[in-house]
Amino acid sequence: KNQVEQSPQSLIILEGKNCTLQCNYTVSPFSNLRWYKQDTGRGPVSLTIMTFSENTKSNGRYTATLDADTKQSSLHITASQLSDSASYICVVSAKGRTYKYIFGTGTRLKVLA
């Protein structure tokens, strides 16, 4: 069964600290993996899209990694800010399954001053 699991479910860190969020998937055959940020009461906003051949991608203070062999991805947030408080959602799509995106349940991050 195609699944995307994220950990931890929730995380609290102090402003300025770094953190890493994890995503494990069993989607096959793999096409791409996306990380989204979802602020409370808003729709998800794309942070990165990674294909099979990419193992690192950065977007400002956000760096995503992908290990297609172990089917794991991580999202590293550097020097966290209060505005980073949000849910972070990992989404995996399967090759050949057009429009089939498997969403993880997200990690809820809270950054405290």
Partner 1 sequence: NAGVTQTPKFQVLKTGQSMTLQCAQDMNHNSMYWYRQDPGMGLRLIYYSASEGTTDKGEVPNGYNVSRLNKREFSLRLESAAPSQTSVYFCASGGIGMNTEAFFGQGTRLTVV
Category of 53 on φ-ψ map: left (φ > 0), alpha (ψ -120 to 50) or beta: alpha
DSSP state of 18: -
Q: For 53-97, what is the HEC assignment?
A: CCCEEEECCEEEEEECCCCEEEEEECCCCHHHCEEEEEEEEECCC
Give the interface with partner 1 as residue ranges (CB under 8 A).
4, 31-32, 34, 41-46, 49, 51, 89, 93, 95, 98-106
Q: How far is the CB of 99 from partner 1 (least distance, A)?
A: 5
Residue number with CB closer to partner 1 (92 or 111): 92
Side chain identity at 111, as an amino acid letter?
A: V
CA gap 10, 111 in Å, rounded: 11
Q: How far is the CB of 17 from partner 1 (least distance, A)?
A: 27
Residue number with CB closer to partner 1 (65 or 106): 106
Which residue reads 């505005």 in tokens?
A: 83
Residue number with CB closer to partner 1 (80 or 93): 93
Q: How far is the CB of 19 from partner 1 (least distance, A)?
A: 21
Residue number with CB closer to partner 1 (11 or 49): 49
Q: How far is the CB of 18 from partner 1 (least distance, A)?
A: 26
